[in-house]
Structure 1
Amino acid sequence: MAKLEIRNLNKTYTPKVIPVKDVSLTVEDDEFLTLLGPSGCGKSTILRLIAGLEAPTRGRITIGNRDVTNLPPGDRNIAMVFQSYALYPHMTVYDNIASGLKLKKTPTEEIKGRVAEAARSLGLEELMNRKPGQMSGGQRQRVALARALVRNPDVFLLDEPLSNLDALLREKVRAEIKQLFAEQRVPVVYVTHDQTEAMTLSTKVAVLNKGLVQQLDAPSRIYNNPANLFVAGFVGSPQMNLLTLNCQGRYAMLGDFRVHLPDIPTSPSQIVFGIRPENVRVAAAEYPHTIKGRVILTENLGMNYLISVRVRGSQADSIILRALLPTDQSWNEEEITLALPPQFIHWFDVQTGDDIVSRQKLAVGG
């Protein structure tokens, strides 16, 4: 078993181009870590640094307590699955899967056994004599996965392996990947900009932006307890409502309505209010925290309606709140009363973007 650790990793190309600034991560034997973030955030560069395809400017990489920072890729015992599949077009499926083992001069009988096992686990038995050009994208991706599996590596690295697949096929292969790597018991590092992949596959997610880790946590905590404005805005679809509001005493002013602030030492002049559209409700009698507004847009998403509401008392277009409502829900098209359950409200500092409540808990040792 091998634990992957990276400490204070930095990659600098020029003084203005620093894709990885200072990243420290640990991935245990049975963990599936996803690096999630927008294009240019540094996630693929981190993967290439772990693989040895690029050398870090600073920092240290260890696999199973072995320092591999300056080792070539072939000496790290890692297996990488690329976005482009990277299959040999002139080779059959069998030869593609076996290629890495042959380079290591693995005995022929052992190669046959490992290839047969990987092909069986990925449903490739009937395709062993085909070449990549004779297969679909999903089949080629499974061949690339099988080629990684047969190597029995210390670490698996996957660089956006599903991005070239259509939506239905992506969902199918995603489920296969989850089952497959649950059985491997080695560290897995997966790179994607797709939050659905990150949330469904991972035991841990590292959300990155501008070369820094914004939050490292379990998927449920990334979603329910975002550490800052970037994480809150990036994770979730539809995106979280994030509104900068003026404060009066212990209240934030949402149009004509007052929302009680959390228990923090000082009362700010402004604060960022956040609530996910699926946590906004059509008000019932038992809800004490409600606002009124006019529905200005309704989008049918199939299972739900996404409605945009201009909050009463706000200036035109200045405060728009979105709510995700079931399609069997009815409301007055002219005016709607919405409930904002306090347990789903997030508060962020206007200047730093940090979650205020979590920061306060840390300050008092909670």
Structure 2
Amino acid sequence: MAKLEIKNLNKTYNSKTIPVKNISLEVNDDEFLTLLGPSGCGKSTTLRLIAGLEQPTRGQILIGDRDVTHLKPGDRDISMVFQSYALYPHMTVYENMASGLKLRKIPTQEIRKRVEEASRLLDLNLDLMNRKPGQLSGGQRQRVALGRALVRQPEVFLLDEPLSNLDALLRERVRAEIKQLFEQQKAPVVYVTHDQVEAMTLSSKVAVLYEGNVQQLDPPQRIYTHPANQFVAGFVGSPQMNLLTLNCQGNHGILGDLHIPLPEGLSTPPQIVMGIRPEHVRLPQETDRLIVHGRIFLVENLGMQNLLSVRVTGEHDESTTVRALLSADVDWGGDEVKLAIPPESIHWFDLKTGDRLR
């Protein structure tokens, strides 16, 4: 096993297109790193640079003690699982899984042993092993692609949005299988996705990317509880965090008729961005002091809960929308409602830079 290290990685296609900007990351043995971000943020390009499918403009890629920056993909000792599965249609499942080992001239007995072990882990029975990819379901083809990567026993695993072609129910099942599978492998894993649920459930740490830069690198729970900036706060979490631009008076932000105390020691700006997740907004309890009044104008049924959009009107008839995730047992209709804002759940961001205010 070996550590993967990326140092100041940069990729420029032309003077105006820079998909990867000075990214530095480390992934140790037994770590699962997810590169998370919207389309065009540079996550797939970063993965292709690690794999050797593209060459960096500058920077280094180290696997263990080896500098692999300019090595061919086949010389890097990595395994990659593609979004499209990339299976050979004329080969059986067994032949697909064994193909990479045959090219490396691994003894036949060892190939059979590795393929059988991987097929057992992935629940690919003997009948499936003799079929060709065209005779398999999407979930089965995904397992074969994973199996082909596993039998290589590489130093690093790379996975490029491997679940995006699966339907929602199958994606959930395969996601759980991937988590169990790679917990047993111990090798560094780099996983690319735009799906935050995959990132939060699979990863030991997450790198949130935007416009080629790492916005935050942290364990999933810290990404959720302490977003580094306004982009991370808005991108991670479903429903999306409320990000409200408030006018300031003295050391308070103004939301409707509610004056919310700003963090101590903060020089009061003219305006500030307050963030609070819909799941943290609640109906008032006796101990709550920060209570805002508003009128419900939209109710979205999410099953066990309803997502309420509430219009809060200020002193000068300025309205702000606050979304709250509340019980589905109540018929909310278009009534007025009081909502409590727990101060411990509030996040503050600088209006100009978007950075988190400590």
TM range (shorter): over 0.9
Which whole-Å deviations, capped at 9, do the CAs of 1:19-56 have from their partners, x for residues lacking one?
00110000000100000000000000000000000000
Q: What are the residue-to-residue correspondences of 1:55-74 with 2, within 5 Å?
A: 55-74=55-74
The answer on 1:272 being equivalent to 2:273 is yes
- Residue 168 to residue 315, structure 1, CA distance change in 2 (3 Å): farther
SS in 1 for 2:117: helix
Is the contact made by 1:43 and 1:191 (CA closer than 8 Å) also made in structure 2? Answer: yes
The answer on 1:101 being equivalent to 2:101 is yes
Counterparts of 1:31 and 1:316 in 2: how far apart (Å)?
51
Is the contact made by 2:81 and 2:160 (CA closer than 8 Å) also made in structure 1? Answer: yes
In percent, how many aligned pairs have the same letter?
70
The answer on 1:22 being equivalent to 2:22 is yes
The answer on 1:232 being equivalent to 2:233 is yes
Q: Name the counterpart of 1:362.
A: none
SS in 2 for 1:226: coil
Matched residue type, 1:102: K
SS in 2 for 1:309: strand
Matched residue type, 1:49: L
Q: CA deviation at 1:313?
A: 2.2
Is the contact made by 1:36 and 1:193 (CA closer than 8 Å) also made in structure 2? Answer: yes
How large is the RMSD of aligned CA atoms in angstroms? Answer: 1.2
SS in 2 for 1:83: coil
Counterparts of 2:78 and 2:348 in 1: how far apart (Å)?
42
Q: Name the counterpart of 2:287.
A: 286
Q: CA deviation at 1:316?
A: 6.2
Q: Name the counterpart of 2:162.
A: 161
Which whole-Å deviations, capped at 9, do the CAs of 1:264-287 have from their partners, x for residues lacking one?
341111100000000000112221
- Residue 332 to residue 135, structure 1, CA distance change in 2 (3 Å): closer
- Residue 265 to residue 134, structure 1, CA distance change in 2 (3 Å): same
The answer on 1:339 being equivalent to 2:317 is no
SS in 2 for 1:277: coil
Matched residue type, 1:170: R
Q: Name the counterpart of 1:173.
A: 174
Which whole-Å deviations, capped at 9, do the CAs of 1:194-242 have from their partners, x for residues lacking one?
0000000000000000000000000000011100000000001110000
Is the contact made by 1:116 and 1:125 (CA closer than 8 Å) also made in structure 2? Answer: no
Aligned length: 357
Is the contact made by 2:256 and 2:312 (CA closer than 8 Å) also made in structure 1? Answer: yes
Is the contact made by 1:310 and 1:317 (CA closer than 8 Å) also made in structure 2? Answer: no
- Residue 303 to residue 317, structure 1, CA distance change in 2 (3 Å): farther
Is the contact made by 1:295 and 1:336 (CA closer than 8 Å) also made in structure 2? Answer: yes
Which whole-Å deviations, capped at 9, do the CAs of 1:306-329 have from their partners, x for residues lacking one?
001111326667400000002124
TM-score (norm 1): 0.96
Counterparts of 1:47 and 1:105 in 2: how far apart (Å)?
27
Q: What are the residue-to-residue correspondences of 1:203-242 with 2, within 5 Å?
A: 203-242=204-243
**Structure 1 residue ranges without an equivalent (≥5):** 358-366
SS in 1 for 2:307: strand
Q: CA deviation at 1:335?
A: 1.0
Q: Name the counterpart of 2:75.
A: 75
**Structure 2 residue ranges without an equivalent (≥5):** none
The answer on 1:194 being equivalent to 2:226 is no
Counterparts of 1:299 and 1:265 in 2: how far apart (Å)?
37
Is the contact made by 2:100 and 2:152 (CA closer than 8 Å) also made in structure 1? Answer: yes
Counterparts of 1:319 and 1:286 in 2: how far apart (Å)?
25
SS in 2 for 1:347: strand
SS in 1 for 2:279: helix
